[in-house]
């Protein structure tokens, strides 16, 4: 089975390859094709993979190419993990937004819109090529902002594109752990958009255990989202929000923390990864060890500004090893081998949330089998959550419209309608700032 990874020179590719190396079952991936625009990044990552594979019998063969069509042909699965504009682009997204006093995070608020505006045209081009060259392939989208990008691709690939994120799984795992439940046996009642969802219940053997957590300040204080949001607010909500909702519920504090930070997240990762890829140019560099220490530093500092703003302290050691690759591998196995499972994924709404149309991509538990991912029926969201979900989906639709038409006016509308952008004038200045910074936004006229 052939797996193509777009953004194959990306820093997190070794996580995926590590997960593949652990898969010994029949029908596993035998060939990995890395595609990237940058040959230097490809060879750096290929070195790390070669060290990972050393001594592993039947390790998946790895090839690399800068030719997109060649990479797509014959693929059974395609992971799309691209970063249009690179980490320099991410840092610029943050800088332009913070200069206007609003958030520039890569998936939330103004930063997410800017990143979406330059990523959607590229993602659509990829989707069209996949539809032509590998019509039977399944596309697993890792690229942020993941819900929006998946929706853009789904207009060309239908249900053959599925978006993934590890934050709902991580949240479910943490809640289960705090409650002393086995995450595998727990049903996580989660729904929303990507980075904008809520856990409303956690059922073990049919019984909802979440009220027990919400009633106990000690339990709440013992895990990441409890520390970020605080007992009182979680009790008021009666649900546990995805960690990215910290940017909404504590927006002022989050913006201030980002403004005061020595470096924004994007700038930190840009410099950290520049050092990594530079080191990899030395023939004697210890590839895997260098990659692993860089990864550990990245994970330890994840969302550190939000944790500082909330006084939440360091990350829990159990939360450090992400999980993207595990979600992606579980999804691929379920489809390829018809191993039925349930995963929280980004798929078309169909009739799940009645306030959204059928084609809106949402994040929801899905039953997965050889026919793909099917969203399960869930309870409706409470009004406050419905309000946010509908507002942000409307923004995403404006981003898709702007990317399709090239209209600058529509881009302004996207920014202006976002709940975290507080004036139409700010939206105008954001479009001005972003189009000046990013050559990839030159299409907005
Ligand atoms: C989480 C999010 C992802 C994000 C990742 C890395 O897993 O769900 O969407 O890409 O963290 O974040 P970072 O700030 O390290 O790039
Ligand atoms: Mn994510």
Residue 324, pLDDT score: 87
The model's pTM:
0.98
| Residue 117 falls inside a structural domain | yes
> What is the residue-level pLDDT of the chain in tens, covering all 445 positions?
999 999 999 999 999 999 999 999 999 999 999 999 999 999 999 999 999 999 999 999 999 999 999 999 999 999 999 999 999 999 999 999 999 999 999 999 999 999 999 999 999 999 999 999 999 999 999 999 999 999 999 999 999 999 999 999 999 999 999 999 999 999 999 999 999 999 999 999 999 999 999 999 999 999 999 999 999 999 999 999 999 999 999 999 999 999 999 999 999 999 999 999 999 999 999 999 999 999 999 999 999 999 989 999 998 888 876 688 999 999 999 999 999 999 999 999 999 999 999 999 999 999 999 999 999 999 999 999 999 999 999 999 999 999 999 999 999 999 999 999 999 999 999 999 999 999 999 999 9
Pocket test of ligand 1: the residue of 10, 13, 80, 106 to mutate, having most ligand atoms within 8 Å of its CB, is 106
- Give the number of the atom of ligand 1 that is nearest the alpha carbon of residue 107: 9
Structure tokens at 408: 């600058």
Residue 319, pLDDT score: 81
| Residue 46 falls inside a structural domain | yes
- The total of structural domains in the chain comes to 1
| Residue 350 falls inside a structural domain | no
- Nearest protein CA to atom 2 of ligand 1, as residue: 167
At residue 14, φ and ψ (nearest 5 deg) are: -60, -25
Give the separation between CA 192 and CA 33, rounded to whole angstroms. Answer: 33
Q: Tell me: is residue 165 an annotated ligand-binding position.
A: yes
Residue 42, pLDDT score: 98
CA distances from 301 to 202, 267, 275, 354 (A): 28, 13, 17, 38
Q: Tell me: is residue 182 an annotated ligand-binding position.
A: no
* CATH code, domain with 122: 3.40.50.720
Q: Taking CB atoms and a 6 Å cutoff, what residues make up the pocket around ligand 1?
A: 144, 165-167, 265, 269, 298, 302, 322
Give the separation between CA 336 and CA 169, rounded to whole angstroms. Answer: 21
- Give the number of the atom of ligand 1 that is nearest the alpha carbon of residue 303: 14
Going from the Cα of 92 to the center of ligand 1, the distance in angstroms, rounded, reads 17
In which domain, by residue range, is 63 found? 2-163
What is the set of active-site residues?
Answer: 166, 244
| Residue 138 falls inside a structural domain | yes
Q: Tell me: is residue 195 an annotated ligand-binding position.
A: yes
Cβ 116 vs Cβ 145: under 8 Å: yes
Pocket test of ligand 1: the residue of 81, 103, 324, 363 to mutate, having most ligand atoms within 8 Å of its CB, is 324
Going from the Cα of 142 to the center of ligand 2, the distance in angstroms, rounded, reads 8
Q: 3-state SS string over 194-214?
A: CCEEEEEEEEECCEECHHHHH
Residue 316, pLDDT score: 87
Going from the Cα of 330 to the center of ligand 1, the distance in angstroms, rounded, reads 19
| Residue 96 falls inside a structural domain | yes
Residue 322, pLDDT score: 65
Structure tokens at 94: 């943050």
| Residue 253 falls inside a structural domain | no
Measured in Å, how far apart are the chain's first and last C-alpha atoms? Answer: 44
| Residue 173 falls inside a structural domain | no
Structure tokens at 315: 């990350």
Give the separation between CA 352 and CA 342, rounded to whole angstroms. Answer: 16
Residue 377, pLDDT score: 97
Residue 173, pLDDT score: 95
Q: Tell me: is residue 366 an annotated ligand-binding position.
A: no
| Residue 71 falls inside a structural domain | yes
- Nearest protein CA to atom 12 of ligand 1, as residue: 302
Going from the Cα of 167 to the center of ligand 2, the distance in angstroms, rounded, reads 6
Query: Taking Cα atoms as reference points, which of 245, 242, 210 lies closest to residue 344?
Result: 242
**Pairing label, strands 31-35, 2-6:** parallel
């Amino acid at each position: 089975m052939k797996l193509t990874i777009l953004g194959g020179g990306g820093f997190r590719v070794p996580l995926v390859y590590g997960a593949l190396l652990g898969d010994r079952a029949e029908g596993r991936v035998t060939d990995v094709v890395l595609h990237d625009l940058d040959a230097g990044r490809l060879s750096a990552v290929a070195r790390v993979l070669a060290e990972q594979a050393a001594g592993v019998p039947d390790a998946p063969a790895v090839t690399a190419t800068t030719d997109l069509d060649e990479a797509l042909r014959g693929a059974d699965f395609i992971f799309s993990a691209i970063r249009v504009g690179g980490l320099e682009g991410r840092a610029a997204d943050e800088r332009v937004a913070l200069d206007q006093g609003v958030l520039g995070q890569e998936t939330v608020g103004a930063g997410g819109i800017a990143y979406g505006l330059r990523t959607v045209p590229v993602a659509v081009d990829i989707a069209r090529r996949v539809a032509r060259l590998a019509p039977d392939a399944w596309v697993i989208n890792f690229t942020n902002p993941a819900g929006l990008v998946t929706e853009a691709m789904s207009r060309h690939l239908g249900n053959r594109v599925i978006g993934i994120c590890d934050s709902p799984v991580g949240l479910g795992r943490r809640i289960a752990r705090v409650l002393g439940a086995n995450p595998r046996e727990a049903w996580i009642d989660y729904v929303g958009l990507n980075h904008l969802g809520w856990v409303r219940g956690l059922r073990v053997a049919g019984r909802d255990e979440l009220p027990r957590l919400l009633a106990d300040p000690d339990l709440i204080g013992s895990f990441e989202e409890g520390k970020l949001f605080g007992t009182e607010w979680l009790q008021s909500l009666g649900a546990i929000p995805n960690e990215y909702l910290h940017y909404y519920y504590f927006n002022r504090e989050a913006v201030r923390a980002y403004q005061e930070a020595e470096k924004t997240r994007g700038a930190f990762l840009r410099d950290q990864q520049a050092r990594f890829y530079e080191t990899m140019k030395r023939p004697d560099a210890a590839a895997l060890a260098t990659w692993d220490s860089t990864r550990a530093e990245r994970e330890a500092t994840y969302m550190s500004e939000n944790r500082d703003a909330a006084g939440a302290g360091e990350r829990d050691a159990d939360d450090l090893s992400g999980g993207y690759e595990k979600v992606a591998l579980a999804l691929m196995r379920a489809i390829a081998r018809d191993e039925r499972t349930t995963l929280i994924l980004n798929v078309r709404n169909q009739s799940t949330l009645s306030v959204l149309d059928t084609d809106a991509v949402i994040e929801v538990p899905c039953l997965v089998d050889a026919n793909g991912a099917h969203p399960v029926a869930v309870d409706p969201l409470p009004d406050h959550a419905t309000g946010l979900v509908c507002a942000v989906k409307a923004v995403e639709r404006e981003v898709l419209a702007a990317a399709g038409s090239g209209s600058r006016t529509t881009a302004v509308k996207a920014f202006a309608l976002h709940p975290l952008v507080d004036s139409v004038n700010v939206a105008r200045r954001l479009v001005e700032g972003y189009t000046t910074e990013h050559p990839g936004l030159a299409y907005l006229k």
